[in-house]
Homo-oligomer: A and B are copies of this chain.
């Protein structure tokens, strides 16, 4: 049973001088497969190409990735494949080699547990004590430098909550640990504007571009969140999960969410 492909070969062995390991020097995508198909494949591939370009990593051949993902997803009703494109080995310390040979690391993972109840009944959030750094060349990119998210997830685990709301150091609402946010304020569903940090999520993009849901990008702060009627977390694997609780406050689960979830399910399941 192959669980990992490294440059196309079944392997459990990454060289210790891989730059992804040394410096987090890679881009990655975490892709949902249902019945061997990835409904959001094109959006993932578009982001992967764009982010590799921004990171100055030569992008991989999309057809090669598709064939390798198919090998990993074959025969499974649902699974997740993580693709990491590292800058490979070599170079002089931080300095990349002049002609980098990227390494493709593909990992199959099981479908997340308890997703149905999370989507139906909602998840418990807290406001993370971790504040995101602002600015720099990495904003918006799905890159391998994820220590802020790891620390926020560890704080959430210790607090016994499912997910966390992340603010940046200037007090602006940015995203969840593993997903973008939808916030209902004054009856209007909006998503935080993230100019200086956060990830441009494929799930959110699918919701607006593929499913036609209109979400204005708005600058949001703690005060806005304090009077929010509802909060939802969206990512490309888990879909849209409402928050049933944020810190000490119960939140509503809006009726509109159920319509979005139905659209999401149709996108994922009815095209088989």
State whether A146 touches B149 (Cβ < 8 A).
Answer: no
Q: Which of B55, B138, B146 contacts A23 (CB 8 A)?
A: B146
A207 within 8 A of B: no
Q: Chain B residues near A15: list those with CB within 8 A.
A: 12-14
Least distance between A14 CB and chain B CB atoms (Å): 5
Q: Chain B residues near A169: list those with CB within 8 A.
A: 134-136, 196
A137 within 8 A of B: yes
Interface centre among A17, A105, A143, A149 (most CB of B within 10 A): A17
State whether B95 touches A147 (Cβ < 8 A).
Answer: no
Rounded to whole angstroms, the CA-CA distance of A143 and B130 in the bound complex is: 16
State whether B157 touches A96 (Cβ < 8 A).
Answer: yes
Chain A interface residue bracket vs B: 35 or more
Interface centre among A130, A132, A136, A139 (most CB of B within 10 A): A136
State whether A147 touches B105 (Cβ < 8 A).
Answer: no
Q: Chain B residues near A87: list those with CB within 8 A.
A: 150
State whether A93 touches B178 (Cβ < 8 A).
Answer: yes
A229 within 8 A of B: no
A244 within 8 A of B: no
- Give 1 or 0 for each of A1-41: 1 = CB within 8 Å of chain B CB: 00010100001111111111111110010100000000000
Rounded to whole angstroms, the CA-CA distance of A22 and B84 in the bound complex is: 8
State whether B95 touches A153 (Cβ < 8 A).
Answer: yes
Rounded to whole angstroms, the CA-CA distance of A23 and B153 in the bound complex is: 12
Rounded to whole angstroms, the CA-CA distance of A192 and B157 in the bound complex is: 37
A118 within 8 A of B: no
| CB closest residue in chain B, given A156 | B95
Q: Chain B residues near A82: list those with CB within 8 A.
A: 22
Q: Chain B residues near A197: list those with CB within 8 A.
A: 133
A74 within 8 A of B: no
State whether A134 touches B131 (Cβ < 8 A).
Answer: no
Q: Chain B residues near A130: list those with CB within 8 A.
A: 136-137
| CB closest residue in chain B, given A151 | B137
| CB closest residue in chain B, given A15 | B12
Enumerate 18 A-B pairs (CB-CB under 8 Å) in ascending A order.
A4-B17, A12-B15, A14-B14, A14-B16, A21-B144, A23-B146, A23-B147, A23-B149, A24-B144, A30-B93, A93-B153, A94-B177, A95-B150, A133-B135, A133-B139, A134-B135, A135-B168, A138-B147
Q: A12-B16, A22-B82 are in contact. List 4 more A-B contacts (CB 8 A).
A: A12-B15, A13-B16, A55-B147, A96-B154
